[in-house]
């Protein structure tokens, strides 16, 4: 450490360990010093654990987020001819909403600079899904991104290395030190990237349930309120929807199969829950951007959202009309009894899709474009013994056994007389 440094890592760790408030100066220094390699991984992991255990107040979280943003570049879309709005989901199973949502909002006159990520574990990644489209590329320069937003109105791409590099380093550390669950660190991780991205309005889709990061409504609401406060303090119009992830979204979890389902939505069809959530998020994004005279449901019906999708895919080198990859092997799971499907657990389905090759255990792992799970009924649907309930898809048949283990106990078929559906939309914060 430089002799002129205003703080040292041990002092900052002890302050938070002892339930103290970190000063602005301490926060600015420790985030910058860690990004530059002056604070060691073991020191930052100790501080992250202290934050997990003892928390941060609103000022500390806002300052930590500011320090993360200041570690890199900030984008500015004010020169675009239309307002901007973005969406972030905390991750779920079958959560393909970004795919139809970005072109839908673009078709309504609002530009969507959607910086997305790859899947890890049981939650799918938007970039992995889109990369199943022949020719499509995730990496764009800032100039290409601006041009596409002006011409097409929507872009879904990977974040550049220049955006909040402190978060990239800290995120990897949290993943291996048991500190992922710290709400101040989750909130600052998400919001530092979204604020640095420069969007004018932001809608957060905070998932709640077995297949989500936040298992309870209370913790999900706490995270939502923290992130909405961060966005609001930074001058970004921010709202959050709390949405159900006890049941997976739609009828597919994977990569190419989720793209196909998204195209069905853009064509005016698709599963009701996917359509409902897509339209609800679109309305929030439009309101945040000041556009209140367009109903996104109309843009799904008249084909203009599909036109925007095809233009967006072509602009990134993809062929929207090309055949999507298909898994080499499939295995059907039959309904064990006649009755009503009363429960379908999102985590069970997500783990099965992951074990089939649709997801990865480490960031560097490859994924299979065609792998995943299709379910042929949703909770509340009647099924007949022996009918197909799931179709498992993979290129490697040796994967079926562990995927089937994941599904065991993950669904119930029985008397549906007392079944009560869980709404997709649980609450709104903002």
Structure tokens at 83: 């307002």
Residue from 16, 82, 174, 194 carrying the catalytic annotation: 174
Per-state percent for the chain, helix, strand, coil, to nearest 5: 45, 15, 40
Closest by alpha carbon to 335, among 375, 304, 306, 290?
375
Residue from 116, 189, 192, 246 carrying the catalytic annotation: 189
* Annotated catalytic residue 193: yes
* Annotated catalytic residue 237: no
Phi/psi at 373 (5° precision): -125, 135
* Annotated catalytic residue 355: no
* Annotated catalytic residue 174: yes
* Annotated catalytic residue 129: no
Structure tokens at 22: 């970190």
Residues 6+ apart with CB under 8 A from 281: 87, 97, 101, 203, 205, 241
Orientation of helix 256-266 relative to helix 272-288, angle to 10°: 70
Cβ count within 10 A of residue 364:
6
Closest by alpha carbon to 107, among 307, 247, 242, 279?
307
d(CA 123, CA 132): 17
Residue from 28, 95, 167, 273 carrying the catalytic annotation: 167
| In 37-152, alpha helices (H) | 41-54, 58-70, 98-107, 126-130, 142-151
Residue from 7, 63, 82, 88 carrying the catalytic annotation: 88
Residues 6+ apart with CB under 8 A from 141: none
Phi/psi at 285 (5° precision): -65, -40
Give the CA distances from residue 392 to residues 31, 204, 209, 404, in Å, rounded to whole numbers and listed in that order: 44, 31, 23, 9
Residue from 66, 87, 193, 283 carrying the catalytic annotation: 193
| In 71-138, alpha helices (H) | 98-107, 126-130
Catalytic residue positions, numbered: 88, 167, 174, 189, 193
């Amino acid at each position: 450490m430089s002799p002129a440094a205003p703080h040292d890592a041990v002092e900052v760790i002890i302050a938070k360990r002892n339930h103290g408030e970190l000063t602005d100066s301490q926060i600015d220094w420790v985030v910058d010093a860690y990004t530059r390699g002056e604070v060691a991984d073991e020191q930052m992991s100790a501080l992250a654990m202290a934050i997990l255990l003892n928390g941060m107040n609103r000022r500390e979280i806002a300052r930590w987020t500011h320090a993360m943003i200041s570690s890199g570049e900030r984008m500015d879309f004010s020169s675009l001819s239309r307002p901007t709005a973005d969406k972030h989901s905390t991750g779920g199973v079958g959560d393909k909403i970004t795919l139809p949502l970005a072109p839908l909002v673009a078709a309504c006159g609002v530009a969507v600079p959607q910086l997305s990520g790859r899947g890890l574990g049981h939650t799918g990644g938007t970039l992995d899904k889109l990369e199943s489209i022949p020719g499509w590329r995730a990496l764009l320069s800032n100039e290409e991104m601006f041009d596409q937003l002006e011409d097409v109105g929507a872009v879904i791409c990977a974040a550049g290395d220049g955006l909040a590099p402190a978060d990239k380093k800290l995120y990897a550390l949290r993943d291996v030190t048991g500190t992922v669950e710290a709400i101040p660190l989750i909130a600052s991780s998400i919001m530092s990237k979204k604020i640095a991205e420069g969007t004018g309005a932001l809608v957060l889709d905070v998932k709640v349930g077995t297949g989500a990061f936040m298992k309870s409504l209370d913790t999900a609401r706490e995270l939502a309120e923290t992130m909405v406060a961060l966005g609001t303090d930074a001058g970004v119009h921010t709202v959050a929807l709390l949405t159900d992830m006890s049941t997976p979204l739609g009828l597919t979890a994977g990569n190419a199969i989720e793209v196909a389902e998204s195209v069905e939505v853009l064509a005016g069809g698709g599963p009701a829950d996917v359509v409902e959530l897509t339209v609800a998020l679109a309305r929030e994004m439009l309101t945040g951007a000041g556009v209140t005279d367009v109903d996104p449901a109309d843009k799904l019906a008249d084909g203009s959202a599909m036109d925007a999708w095809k233009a967006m895919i072509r602009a990134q080198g993809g062929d929207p009309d090309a055949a999507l990859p298909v898994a080499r092997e499939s295995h059907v799971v039959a309904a064990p009894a006649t009755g009503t499907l009363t429960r379908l657990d999102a985590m069970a389905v997500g783990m099965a899709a992951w074990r089939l090759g649709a997801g990865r255990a480490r960031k560097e792992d490859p994924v299979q474009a065609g792998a995943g799970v299709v379910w042929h009924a949703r909770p509340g649907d009647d099924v007949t013994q022996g009918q197909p309930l799931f179709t498992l898809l993979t290129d490697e048949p040796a994967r079926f056994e562990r995927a089937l283990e994941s599904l065991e106990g993950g669904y119930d078929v029985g008397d549906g007389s007392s079944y009560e559906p869980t709404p997709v939309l649980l609450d709104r914060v903002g």
